[in-house]
Amino acid sequence: MSVEELNCSELGTKDYWDKSYAREIKNYKNFGDVGEIWFDEDSHIRVINWLLQQDYISNDVTIADMGCGNGMLLIELAREGYKNLLGVDYSPKAIELAEQIAKDQDLNISYKVVDLLNTELCQQQIGKSIGIVHDKGTYDAISLCPDNPKEKRDAYISTVYNVMDEKSLFIITSCNWTEDELLTSFANKFCKKCIIPTPTFKFGGKVGSVVTSIVFTKK
Ligand SMILES: C[S@@+](CC[C@H](N)C(=O)[O-])C[C@H]1O[C@@H](n2cnc3c(N)ncnc32)[C@H](O)[C@@H]1O
């Protein structure tokens, strides 16, 4: 089974993100504005609440945020007491912004510039048994790439797979793909563990969601 590719967009290019984070750094320096929280703050809260409810996950679990942007999810996790936090993003400006915000809040979070499509290098750069691998909006952005999006989605899925072990969890929140599409795209390498419920709406007798959050384990 396959899914229909999305229409490409500038959100699928590095140039877009570099320019966007360069602007956000200026806003942060001038006005203290941390910048965009993708899919709103509630999507952070839902993931963090879900993690806090899993008694078997301790606060020293390693958590890697793939495509961390300004790092605000990691900031929230650090405030909740999680200690082993790594944020990676291919935009050096995103990492500069995230590092500055964490420093200003006196929080200990590691950040690295990493291109998640460079699957071979990622295991060295990120690790190979990350307890919780998190993605909000990054697989979505990669899916919008103007050239070879399918190849890029597959490279990303391999990267995520390679940094996990059999106990690791992968939590993905997407607004571009439905639950069924995500399950289809990840089916070769991942199994669904559960869904983190997100708000739903009803239209024409059908129930839909604006965002989807799925927890996967490795096959
Ligand atoms: C929609 S933003 C989401 C940012 C953050 N996860 C959040 O929820 O606020 C997508 C992020 O993915 C990053 N990104 C896109 N492609 C990437 C790649 N190949 N490697 C690493 N990061 C990437 C972008 O730089 C951007 O920060």
CATH assignment of the domain containing 47: 3.40.50.150
Q: Both ends of the chain: CA-CA distance in Å?
A: 17
Residue 2 maps to a domain? no
- 111 bridge partner residues: 87
Band the pLDDT of 209: cuts 50, 70, 90. confident
> Does 3 map to a domain?
no
Whether 142 maps to a domain, the answer reads yes
* Predicted pLDDT at 13: 97
Q: How confident is the model at residue 41 (pLDDT cuts 50, 70, 90)?
A: confident
Binding site membership of 67 for ligand 1 (Cβ less than 6 Å): yes
In this predicted structure, the answer to whether residue 183 has a pLDDT above a threshold of 80 is: yes
Burial class, 197, CB count within 10 angstroms (exposed 0-12 / middle 13-18 / buried 19+): exposed
pLDDT value of position 37: 80
Q: Which residue has the higher pLDDT, 101 or 44?
A: 101
pLDDT in tens, 54-79: 999 999 999 999 999 999 999 999 99
* Atom number of ligand 1 nearest to Cα 140: 1
- Once rounded to an integer, what is the mean pLDDT over residues 98-112? 98
Residues in CB range of 139: below 8 A, 6 or more apart: 153, 156, 172, 174, 177
Nearest CA to ligand 1 atom 27: 69
pLDDT level of residue 30 (50, 70, 90 thresholds):
very high
The verdict on residue 134 lying in a domain is: yes
Look at residue 4 and tell me if it is in a domain.
no
Query: By the 8 A CB rule, do 123 and 111 touch?
Result: no
As a whole number, the mean pLDDT across the chain is: 95
Classify residue 1: in a domain, yes or no. no
Task: Provide the residue range defining the domain that includes 171.
Answer: 10-218
pLDDT of residue 42 exceeding 90: no
- Closest ligand 1 atom to 135 CA: 6
Task: Tell how far the Cα of 67 is from the centroid of ligand 1, in angstroms.
Answer: 4
Domain contains 124: yes
Domain count along the chain: 1
Residue closest by Cα to atom 14 of ligand 1 = 67
Is the separation of the CB atoms in 132 and 171 below 8 Å?
yes
Q: Which of 37, 42, 90 has most ligand 1 atoms within 8 Å of its beta carbon, as the pocket-test mutant?
A: 90
pLDDT band with cut points at 50, 70 and 90 for residue 214:
very high
Please check the confidence at residue 52 and state whether its pLDDT lies above 70: yes
Residues 165-177: what's their mean pLDDT? Answer: 96
Given the structure tokens 């203290």, which residue do they identify?
Answer: 32
Best mutation site among 11, 75, 89 for ligand 1, i.e. most ligand atoms within 8 A of its Cβ?
A: 89
Residue to mutate, 138, 170, 171, 176, ligand 1, most ligand atoms under 8 Å from C-beta: 138
| Confidence bin at 208 (pLDDT 50/70/90) | low
